[in-house]
């Protein structure tokens, strides 16, 4: 697969400022395992960038290499324009917040946050002021005498965040920091982290495998697969304009339907899906007649077709969710297609389970991918 140049991806260039982080062809091998495969990316000052991908794709390894906990096998890392290869973690201008908080259990909240400043031997009055500000920033004012075990998980993570922020690093690395929290608290903390990021203006690099979390928080998302960054773009672009079937599938739900190119007329290309439905699609560079493609369509873009039209199937399941409904349609080849129906147009859909149903979508609402390589055809 051709490797896209990610160093100039959209939204990344701001004149006059060197990127806070530059990775150039960074490769990491653990014996036979290639954890990172020539990763190149630039992260601008003050950005919130999320590394998103399935377990084992290399997110944590990337973070550990930036932090200096791990040395890359090849390639270079620069922070604010300075090569840091071989520089130990404590001399890099970065701090890490871990999922496990890693607080000192015997120290109070205040002393946990003050720790780094005391190491730097700052005057006591400065330490008091800086720690106080940081605790206010993470909404922990008044809890400074407590010990970590007297705090909730969310509060402990706020302490870890304050402890990192007082050091004013160029880059804050966050490795699944909300992973241990329950869903409701996690959602609250996502918004809190976003607010703190806006207030402090420090570059945040955030690791998660949770796509919704990535969409909520990030200026840009780097989607990773098997040690590579396959797309680096703002959340909307990742969702609406995925470059590969992997990205389309990993971020949000995509129905991926096999089909074949049947006709190529001036601009309009006729695609026939398995199951026999033919539709026209405007493609600038259509594949040749007979080529296999995958058509991706989001559940919210599919609608129930009137009789005699669309892709035929049977209603497999109907889930009524009050303001909307989800339909599962079984298509030819036993393939399942999901429909998100915001108007609950089927009404009592449950009564129609097992009955024939047809679906369709606007040609502009679906994306076409080359079936062999999984790459987008435009």
- Which residues would be at the binding site for ligand ATP (CB under 6 A)? 30, 33, 35, 53, 55-61, 209
Using the minimum distance from each CB to ligand ATP, give the nearer residue, 4 or 56. Answer: 56
Using the minimum distance from each CB to ligand ATP, give the nearer residue, 65 or 114. Answer: 65
Using the minimum distance from each CB to ligand ATP, give the nearer residue, 39 or 164. Answer: 39
Token code pair at residue 371: 């079936």
Using the minimum distance from each CB to ligand ATP, give the nearer residue, 52 or 166. Answer: 52
Say what angle helices 124-137 and 183-200 make with each other, to 10 degrees.
Answer: 130
What is the closest distance, in whole angstroms, from the C-beta atom of residue 57 to ligand ATP in the complex?
4
d(CA 265, CA 270): 8
d(CA 135, CA 113): 8
What is the closest distance, in whole angstroms, from the C-beta atom of residue 63 to ligand ATP in the complex?
8
Using the minimum distance from each CB to ligand ATP, give the nearer residue, 58 or 286. Answer: 58
d(CA 332, CA 212): 31
What is the closest distance, in whole angstroms, from the C-beta atom of residue 97 to ligand ATP in the complex?
15
What is the closest distance, in whole angstroms, from the C-beta atom of residue 277 to ligand ATP in the complex?
38
Beta-sheet pairing, 268-273 with 255-264: antiparallel
Backbone dihedral region for residue 59 (phi beyond 0: left; psi -120 to 50: alpha; all else: beta): alpha
> DSSP letters along 185-241, please?
HHHHHHHHHHHHHHHH--EEEEEES-HHHHHHH-SEEEEEETTEEEEEE-HHHHHHS
What is the closest distance, in whole angstroms, from the C-beta atom of residue 68 to ligand ATP in the complex?
15
Closest to 151 (Cα-Cα) out of 195, 118, 181, 119:
181
d(CA 26, CA 77): 8
What is the closest distance, in whole angstroms, from the C-beta atom of residue 166 to ligand ATP in the complex?
27
Using the minimum distance from each CB to ligand ATP, give the nearer residue, 214 or 315. Answer: 214
């Amino acid at each position: 697969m051709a490797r896209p140049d990610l160093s100039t991806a959209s939204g990344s260039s701001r004149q006059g400022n060197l990127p806070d982080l530059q990775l150039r062809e960074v490769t990491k091998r653990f014996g036979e395992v290639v954890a990172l495969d020539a990763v190149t990316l630039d992260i601008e000052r003050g950005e919130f960038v999320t590394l998103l991908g399935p377990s084992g794709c290399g997110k944590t390894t990337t973070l550990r290499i930036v932090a200096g906990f791990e040395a890359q096998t090849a390639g270079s890392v620069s922070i604010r324009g300075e090569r840091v290869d071989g520089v130990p973690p404590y001399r890099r201008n970065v701090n890490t917040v871990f999922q496990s908080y890693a607080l000192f259990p015997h120290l109070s909240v205040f002393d946990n946050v003050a720790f780094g400043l005391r190491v730097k031997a700052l005057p006591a009055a400065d330490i008091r002021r800086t720690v106080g500000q940081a605790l206010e920033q993470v909404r922990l004012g008044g809890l400074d005498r407590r010990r970590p075990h007297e705090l909730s998980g969310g509060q402990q993570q706020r302490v870890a965040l304050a402890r990192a922020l007082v050091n004013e690093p160029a880059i804050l690395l966050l490795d699944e920091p909300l992973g241990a929290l329950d869903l409701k608290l996690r959602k609250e903390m996502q918004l809190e982290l976003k607010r703190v990021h806006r207030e402090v203006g420090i570059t945040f690099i955030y690791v998660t495998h949770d796509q919704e979390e990535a969409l909520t928080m990030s200026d840009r998302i780097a989607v990773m697969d098997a040690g590579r960054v396959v797309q680096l773009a703002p959340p909307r672009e990742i969702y609406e304009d995925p470059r590969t079937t992997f990205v389309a599938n990993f971020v949000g739900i995509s129905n991926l339907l096999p089909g074949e190119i049947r006709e190529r007329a001036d601009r309009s290309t006729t695609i026939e899906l398995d199951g026999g439905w033919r539709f026209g699609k405007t493609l600038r560079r259509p594949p040749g007649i007979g080529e296999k493609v995958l058509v991706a369509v989001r559940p919210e873009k599919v609608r129930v077709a009137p009789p005699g039209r669309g892709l035929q199937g049977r209603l497999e399941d109907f889930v009524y969710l009050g303001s909307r409904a989800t339909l599962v349609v079984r298509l030819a080849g036993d393939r399942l297609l999901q429909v998100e129906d915001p108007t609950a147009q089927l009404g009592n859909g449950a009564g129609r389970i097992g009955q024939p149903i047809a679906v369709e979508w606007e040609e502009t609402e679906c994306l076409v991918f080359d079936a062999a390589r999984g790459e987008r055809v435009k």
